[in-house]
Chains A and B, each alone.
Chain A
Amino acid sequence: MSVATTPIDKMQLASPNPRSLWQNALRYIFRQRSAIVGMIILGILILIALLAPVLATHDPIKTLIGVEDVKKREPPCIHILGCPADKPQHFFGTDGNIRDLYSRVLYGARLSLIVGIFSVAFAIVIGAFFGAIAGYLGGWTDNVIMRVMDVLLAFPSLILAIAIVTVLGPGLSNTLFAIGIVSIPGYARITRASVLSIKELDYVTADRALGVPAMRILFYHILPNALTPLVVQATLGIAGAILSAAALSFLGLGAQPPTPEWGAMIGQERNQVFTAPHLIFFPGVALILTVLGFNLLGDGLRDALDPRFNR
């Protein structure tokens, strides 16, 4: 009798293709129901934004006076749900200027996503750059940069955004810029904190000992490893940016008429909340779902990427 033995070097001690942090995170995210819901919502939203011209039944900025026999602020009329066939079909009804609300809400998705993603991207680029410099160089550079960020943080973000838009003039691009500016300190702080801890690691010391230039160490070796918390913050930040943009538009400082922006749509019809609630309801629900989607995904990402969470 002999016992077959396997040489120890042939035993599988580790997986042949070790999963990276991101692969791990993705696996974990797919195990989380709330994150999946978030991703589904966002997936649908992105599809809607991309396919808005196909899905929309009307031109979102064209009034239907003289085109169809509809009145302003008509409630939804859907033929398969019993609306008389001789009445023109409007899934979400018509707004105060006799435009199709459904088409406007669809196109609104584009604007909200654009504002959310671009303003956060702007804030990340600037915030991460300054945060990384501050964290890596330390000393007076760190002091100056972070005190400027502290000043920005001292203002309530929406109030500061209102002030910026008031100076620059209302409009979507200025809104985007204002929200970007007020978001910068958050990203700068996070990046600085990560850089501060990473720069003490041995591989960075080794880099230094080998004479790698400082900027190369910072942007090629440190920053990529400091991205994790930034990604989480960005996902949650997009939700906040979309809300801020809607708030500015509600106040008349963001998207200008006739642009179909959700906040502006709600703001314009706020006095019809009792006579025509659908005009507040549909853009409001769209806004809620979008923000919910980003928040769920953001929470999922945070749980997945944060090593402190036990799995």
Chain B
Amino acid sequence: MFKSIRRSWLNGLAVVGLLLAACAPAAPTTGSQAPATATTASASTEVTTTETTTTTAAAPTGEFKPMSLAAESCDYGGEFKSIEAVDALTVKMTLCFPDPAFPSKVAFSSNGINDADYLEKTGGGGDLIEHPNGTGPYMLSEWKRGDELVLKRFDGYWGEKAKTENLIFRWSAESAQRLVELQAGTVDSIDNPGPDDFATIEGDANLQLKTRLSQNVLYMGWNRSYAPFDNEKVRQAFAMAIDKDRLVKNFYPPGSSVATQFMPPSLFGFTKEVDWYKYDPEQAKKLLTEAGVLPGFQTTLAYRDVVRGYFPNPGTIAQDIQAQLAAIGVDAKIEVMESGAFLDAAAQGQLKGLFLLGWGADYPDATNFLDVHFGPGASKSFGPGFEDIWEQLKGGATHATAEERYPFYVKANELIKEHAPMIPIAHGGNAIAYKADVEGAYASAVGAEQFALMNPGGRDTFIFMQNAEPISIYCADETDGETLRACEQVMQSLLSFAPGTGEVSPALATEWSANADLTEWTFKLRDGVKFHNGATFDANDVVTSYVAQWDAKSPLHKGRAGDFTYFTSLFTAFLNAPPAKQ
């Protein structure tokens, strides 16, 4: 099967190559266009046996052959109906249902645009993973695995050139070490200083602290497939048992707030009408006793010992929750798990006890929080979903204006409170610290700072130290925040989030528009953009980059692990997805 696909793909490539040779375009900028057209052929030959049709439209000028991919129908369950290059600098995306958050999703780092030629060359994996070829202000110089990631200024950048010649990423999991490095002047900026170090940094004239909006949430979850969490009354009782004020007051840095619902207050989807259960340990104890859970309930409290904006002191917070549970008679044994194993166990619904996990905004909209956790496509971490919540979320996601959407989210948040699939605990304030002489220093609400805009006191190298090493620089197939930040410097999406404010703003697309019901989105692309390898950016690069993620049968749908997790969480489903494993 695989062999035949590959052969037909190669045949298509050869045929189009010959056609192109015959046409012999006069324009000199064929570097990126010829291979891009080849991708069209690959996509068309690749998907003809499935429910989709792909067309290579007649080229209007004889040199640009616009690519497109269309699903035959929306029955496959995903958001995209078609993606097409209208002309060299126009891309049209048609959706199966209205999506007001679409520009935010398009701006997200996982949707960075690759050169179609390069994607083809790497086969959607291989070199692409560690040797990116983007359009960003920095390009890869050298990646010393386990040591540092060195980026250098891309002189062909379309916008304002990076202010430093080099940008170096370093990493350390220990906040004390990061602070020492910043104080010693060996790095220009550190991410996530320890909450107790905020005062130290603010009191140091050589340093500056920039706090981020707390667009995140820490929650204590449980899986309702397992007793006693299958009982709604038990879940509601636990929902009253945690003193969140005490946690935020004692263990969170300034700028944090108590979570009254899953949505952070600064994002659309937060509904002030909804408030969480009042803290009432006596009532919780009573309800748990009535339900037969107490006395003598033993469980586990699992978490990963990884500092995140929503979880500034994992061990300390977990121990306080353990103490609070002990106060109502629940014996929770702390279980610290390895990060990857913990996330997998949660996602696969294997955690039978309580667990502490959180979520940070990828783009500022309710869909990024509520749909991901409580929608029909959510992971199994809370057990089976709730259909009445799905209904409200669908209503919220498919209406156009904020006024129309809001009532759905009020209802959704109320239902989440009622069903209590978890307890939202806190929205953590977090920060990034810089040396005082860094000009243009800011904190991105979604943790995606653009270091190209910063001038570290005239030095030619900006050194940034974060929590962990990036996993790769092909972010279509990554979910890790440390990885996404590195991608942001090298790769660009059609749109971006404005520094500081987080508003969606132009990047590789200069303007975008939608039809009245928000199902047809047209992006006008920036002219004269070059990739790091010198190729010219055009609409086919956009189509190829999206198709590589969208079409599970595309030969380019490879990535590092092949999960493309963000694509399904943003756009619901892959085209031609293989049948679910039993």
Contacts and interface: CB of A to CB of B under 8 A. Distances in A.
Interface string B292-335: 00000000000001000000010110111011000000000110
Given A65-B246, A258-B323, A275-B197, A270 B315 contact: no
Contact of B196 (A61, A73, A97, A268): A73
Nearest to B249: A65
Nearest to A252: B336
A204 interface: no
Nearest to B336: A252
A252 to B, nearest CB: 5
A268 B316 contact: yes
A66 B324 CA distance: 12
Nearest to B178: A271
A268 B250 contact: no
A258 B320 CA distance: 9
B194 A256 contact: no
- Sorting the interface of chain B by its residue count into under 10, 10 to 19, 20 to 34 or 35 or more gives 20 to 34
Nearest to A268: B315
Contacts of A63: 320, 323
Contact of A271 (B174, B200, B322): B174
Interface range on chain A (Cβ under 8 Å from partner)? 20 to 34
Interface string A216-230: 000000000000000
Given A252-B336, A256-B334, A271-B175, A276 B196 contact: yes
A214 interface: no
A98 B333 contact: no
A97 B197 contact: no
Contact of B322 (A98, A257, A275): A257
Contacts of B250: 65, 71-72, 98
A95 to B, nearest CB: 9
B143 to A, nearest CB: 27
B176 A273 contact: yes
A74 to B, nearest CB: 12
B336 A270 contact: no
B322 A258 contact: yes
A273 B246 CA distance: 25
Secondary structure at the A interface, as helix, strand, loop or mixed, is loop
Nearest to B247: A65
Interface string A73-98: 10000000000000000000000111
A96 B246 contact: no
B83 interface: no
B180 A256 contact: no
A274 interface: yes
Contacts of B175: 271
Contact of A97 (B305, B319, B333): B319
Interface in A93-115: 96-98
A272 interface: yes
Contact of A275 (B174, B196, B246, B251): B196
Contact of A258 (B180, B313, B319): B319
B334 A257 contact: yes
Contacts of B176: 270-274
B151 interface: no
Contacts of A252: 305, 336
Residue of B176, B319, B333 ringed by the most chain A CB atoms within 10 A = B319
A91 to B, nearest CB: 21
Contacts of B246: 65-66
Nearest to B200: A275
A271 B17 CA distance: 59
B475 to A, nearest CB: 29
A96 B305 contact: no
Nearest to B323: A63
A272 B196 contact: yes
B83 to A, nearest CB: 46
Nearest to A63: B323
B446 interface: no
B318 A274 contact: no
B393 interface: no
Contacts of B113: none
Nearest to A275: B196
Given A72-B251, A270-B176, A271-B175, A257 B319 contact: yes
A96 B336 contact: no
Contacts of B354: none
Given A65-B250, A272-B176, A274-B176, A256 B197 contact: no
Given A252-B305, A257-B318, A268-B315, A97 B179 contact: no
B206 to A, nearest CB: 16
Nearest to B334: A257
B315 to A, nearest CB: 5
B194 A272 contact: yes
Contacts of B196: 73, 272, 275-276
Contacts of B180: 274
Contacts of B179: 274
Interface string A30-72: 0000000000000000000000000000000111011000011
Nearest to A73: B196
Contacts of A73: 196
Contacts of B305: 252
A280 B43 CA distance: 61
A97 B323 contact: yes
Interface string A247-259: 0000010001110
Interface string A118-162: 000000000000000000000000000000000000000000000
Contacts of B333: 256
Interface string B329-362: 0000110100000000000000000000000000
Interface of B: 174-176, 179-180, 194, 196-197, 200, 246, 250-251, 305, 313, 315-316, 318-320, 322-323, 333-334, 336
Interface of A: 61-63, 65-66, 71-73, 96-98, 170, 252, 256-258, 268, 270-276
22 contacts: A62-B323, A63-B320, A65-B250, A65-B320, A72-B251, A72-B316, A96-B251, A97-B319, A97-B320, A256-B333, A256-B334, A257-B322, A258-B323, A270-B176, A271-B175, A271-B194, A272-B196, A273-B176, A274-B180, A275-B196, A275-B197, A275-B200
Given A65-B250, A66-B246, 13 more contacts: A61-B323, A63-B323, A65-B246, A72-B316, A97-B320, A252-B305, A256-B333, A257-B322, A257-B334, A271-B174, A271-B175, A274-B176, A275-B200
Closest A-B pairs by Cβ, 7 of them: A271-B176, A96-B316, A257-B319, A275-B196, A271-B175, A257-B334, A97-B319
